[in-house]
Structure 1
Amino acid sequence: MQKILIPTDFSDNAWNAIDYAMQLFRNKKCTFYLLNTYTPVIPSGRFMAKMVNGVRIVDAVRDASEEGLQKTVDRIKSKYRNSQHSFETISSFNLLTEEIKDLVDTYGIQLIITGTKGASGIEEVFMGSNTVRIIKSTKKCPVLAIPQHFEFITPTEIAFATDFNRFYSTSELSPLLELAQMFQATIRIVHVQYGIKALSELQQFNLNMLRRYLEGMEHYVHTVSELNSVSKTLELFSQELNIHLLAMLNYQHSYMEQMTREPIVKRTAFHTQTPLLVIPELGMEGVAKDNPKKKGEVVES
C-alpha cells in the first residue's frame, strides 16, 4: 500500500479521511495522490453568463480546485512533517468515479481512502453517496471509508466479516493481512447467521483455508445470530468487541452487497463509527496470481 489515492472536496469529512491516512501510514513510505474533480455547469443559453468578472466559469472552477489542493498539501505538511510521505495533486474536469478508475490504472493505485458524510457516519455509504459509487465502480483495489467524526485509533482489533461461501485468494486478502501485520492486530472473523447452524462442507473448507492464511497471526472465529439486519448485527458486534476496523470482500451475495440492498428502514439504525475496508473481488485473476503455473502444467479441478 505505497500508492494511495484520497479524493477530496475540501470538506471537514474529507479532511478527516486525510488525517486518518496520515496517521495510519505514519511509519510507511507512501505517495499520496490527492484528487479533486469538478464538473461545472456550462451555460448554454445566450442570456446566461459564461464569464464572471472577465474569467470563464470553467477556468475559475479549475483554479479553485488547484488552489484547494495546494492548500490541503500545505496543511498536511505543516501538521505532520513526515519525510516519508510525498504528495501528488490531481485536479480533473471529470466524474469522480470515472477519474478514479483511470487513476487506479495509470498510477497503479493500491488503496483508496475516502470520507463518509452525515451524522450517521457509515450509514451514508449505503444511501447513494460518493462513497458507495466509488465502492461499486472500483474493481481493482480496496476502498477504506472513514466515518465523518471518527478519531484515529491504531487498529489493533480488526474484524473480517464473511459467510465462508466463497474461496479467498491471497491477492484479495493481502490488504487485510498487511494492515494486521503492520499493527500486530488481532483478526476477528465474524460470521452472521440467520439461526445458528453447522457450516456446510464448502464453508468449512473455506474457513480452514482462511485459517491457513492467518497462521502465525492471532485470530478468532465468531458466529453471531442476525439481529434485524446484517448491518445492525455487524454494528453491535463492532461495539461489543471494540473493533477498530471492519473489513469485508465485495462480491455477488456478499455481506457488502446485502447491506447495500437492505431496505432503508433497516439501515436507519446503522450508526456505526467504524472505518470500513471494502476489498473488491479479483476472481480467477487473483487466484491465478496466487498460484502461477508453469507452461504446460495442468491444474486439476
Structure 2
Amino acid sequence: MKNILLPTDFSENAWNAACYAIELFANEACTFYVLNTYTPHIAHSRFMAAALEGNMLEDTAKEISESGLAKVISRIKAQFNNPRHSFYAISSFSMLVDEVKETIEDKQIDLVVTGTKGASGLEEVFMGSNTVRIIKSVNNCPVLAVPESFPFVRPNEIAFATDFNRFYTESELEPLLDMSRTFGAVIRIVHVQQGIHALSELQKFNLDMLRKYLKNVEHYVHTVSELNSVSKTLEVFSNELDIHLLAMLNYQHSYMEKITREPVVKKMAFHTQIPLLVIPELGMCNKKSKNQNEEGLSVSQ
C-alpha cells in the first residue's frame, strides 16, 4: 500500500493535482492524506482584547480548514469512489513546509503530490513558491508537481534529465523505475549540454551504471544542445517527444537546482507543462520508522 500526501489550499489548482494522483494510482491500494495548514494573522498588542481576537481568528481558521478538508474528501469520494483508496484529513496550525516534513515522517509517506501554478510577465515564477519550498526542504520523499489544469494522461513516455556527473544508487532511482514498471513506460534519458562534446570517463561510467539499473526497462539516451536555459531545453524536448512525465534527481549542482536558480527571463516559458517528479538525493532506502532514528531513539513529534 502506498501512502500519498496531498497538500491543499482548496484551490482548483490543488484539486487538479489531487485528481491526477488519484487517477495515477487508480489500480493500486493507497492511503491519501489530504493536508491543509492555517496560520491566521494575530495582531501584536499589549491589550488583552487583541489576544482574545487572536484566539477567535485561530478558531475561525481551524473551522474553515476542517470544513474545507471534509468537502474535498467528500468531493473525491463522489467523483472517484475507488474501493482501493482511503482518505484522511490533516488540519494543522503550522507552516506548510514544516507540516509536510512532519507528516512524511509520521505517516511514512511514499510520495507528495502538489499542484503548481505560474504567473505572467515579470511575476512569473518556477512552479510557485510553495512547491519550490517543498522540493528544496524535503530530502526523504519524492515530490510530484502537477501543472495547473493539466489533465491526467497515462505516463507512457518518461524523461529522466541528468548530466551523468553523479553516481546514482538503484534505491534513488526506485521511484522512477516504479513508475516505468507500473505503466510500461519508456524512459528517455536526456542529457543537456552546452555544446555537444564527448562524455568524460566519469560520465561514461555513470551512464553505464544507469543503463544497468534500467536493463529491464525500455530506455533511450538523448543528448541535446542547451538553448537559452536548461528549463527551456527540457520544455522543448518534452514537447517534441510527447513526454508525459519529467523526472529529476535533486542534489547540489543538479539540473533541478539549476532550474530553480535560473534568472526569471530565461525560465519564463517554463511552467512545468507536464508533471515533474523530483527525487531526493538520498532515495527511499533511508526512510526510518516514525518511532526510530539511526540510534534507535524515539523521534520527537
Instruction: Within 5 Å, give how 1:155-170 maps onto structure 2.
Output: 155-170=155-170
TM-score, normalising length from structure 2?
0.89
Which residue in the other structure is 1:108 paired with?
Answer: 108
Structure 1 CA distance for aligned equivalents of residues 143 and 117 of structure 2: 15
Which residue in the other structure is 1:295 paired with?
Answer: none
Task: Report deviation, 1:171.
Answer: 1.4
How big is the alpha-carbon RMSD for the aligned residues of Structure 1 and Structure 2? 2.0
Task: Report deviation, 1:41.
Answer: 0.8
Task: Report deviation, 1:43.
Answer: 2.2
Structure 1 CA distance for aligned equivalents of residues 34 and 175 of structure 2: 20
CA distances 1:111-156 after superposition (whole Å, capped 9, x unpaired): 0000012357xx9663761000000000000000000011110000
The structure-2 alpha-carbon separation of the partners of 1:17 and 1:284, relative to structure 1 and needing over 3 Å to count, comes to closer
Task: Report deviation, 1:49.
Answer: 8.3
> Match of 2:33, SS?
strand
Structure 1 CA distance for aligned equivalents of residues 238 and 102 of structure 2: 34
Structure 2 CA distance for aligned equivalents of residues 258 and 51 of structure 1: 45
Task: Report deviation, 1:88.
Answer: 1.2
Which residue in the other structure is 1:96 paired with?
Answer: 96
Which residue in the other structure is 1:256 paired with?
Answer: 256
Which residue in the other structure is 1:176 paired with?
Answer: 176
Contact 1:125 1:132 in 2 (8 A): no
Contact 1:117 1:124 in 2 (8 A): no
Amino acid at match of 1:202: L
Task: Report deviation, 1:238.
Answer: 0.2
Instruction: Within 5 Å, give how 1:31-46 maps onto structure 2.
Output: 31-45=31-45, 46=47
CA distances 1:30-70 after superposition (whole Å, capped 9, x unpaired): 00011000000112334758449xx8111111011001001
The structure-2 alpha-carbon separation of the partners of 1:173 and 1:124, relative to structure 1 and needing over 3 Å to count, comes to farther
Structure 2 CA distance for aligned equivalents of residues 209 and 73 of structure 1: 43
> Match of 1:247, SS?
strand
Is there any run of 5+ residues in structure 1 with no aligned partner, and where? 287-301
> Match of 1:170, SS?
coil
Amino acid at match of 1:189: I
Task: Report deviation, 1:167.
Answer: 0.6
Contact 2:174 2:284 in 1 (8 A): no
Which residue in the other structure is 1:26 paired with?
Answer: 26
Structure 2 CA distance for aligned equivalents of residues 81 and 128 of structure 1: 30
**Match status 1:193 vs 2:198:** no
Amino acid at match of 1:258: K
Structure 2 CA distance for aligned equivalents of residues 270 and 284 of structure 1: 28
**Match status 1:74 vs 2:65:** no
Which residue in the other structure is 2:84 paired with?
Answer: 84
TM-score, normalising length from structure 1?
0.89
Which residue in the other structure is 1:215 paired with?
Answer: 215
Contact 2:127 2:272 in 1 (8 A): no
Structure 2 CA distance for aligned equivalents of residues 222 and 97 of structure 1: 35
* Deviation >6 Å, runs of 4+: none
The structure-2 alpha-carbon separation of the partners of 1:85 and 1:244, relative to structure 1 and needing over 3 Å to count, comes to same
Structure 2 CA distance for aligned equivalents of residues 126 and 106 of structure 1: 29
Contact 2:116 2:128 in 1 (8 A): no
Structure 2 CA distance for aligned equivalents of residues 26 and 284 of structure 1: 22
Contact 1:42 1:50 in 2 (8 A): no
Task: Report deviation, 1:216.
Answer: 1.8
Is there any run of 5+ residues in structure 2 with no aligned partner, and where? 287-301
**Match status 1:130 vs 2:130:** yes
Structure 2 CA distance for aligned equivalents of residues 251 and 12 of structure 1: 31
Which residue in the other structure is 1:297 paired with?
Answer: none
Structure 2 CA distance for aligned equivalents of residues 76 and 124 of structure 1: 31
> Match of 2:176, SS?
helix
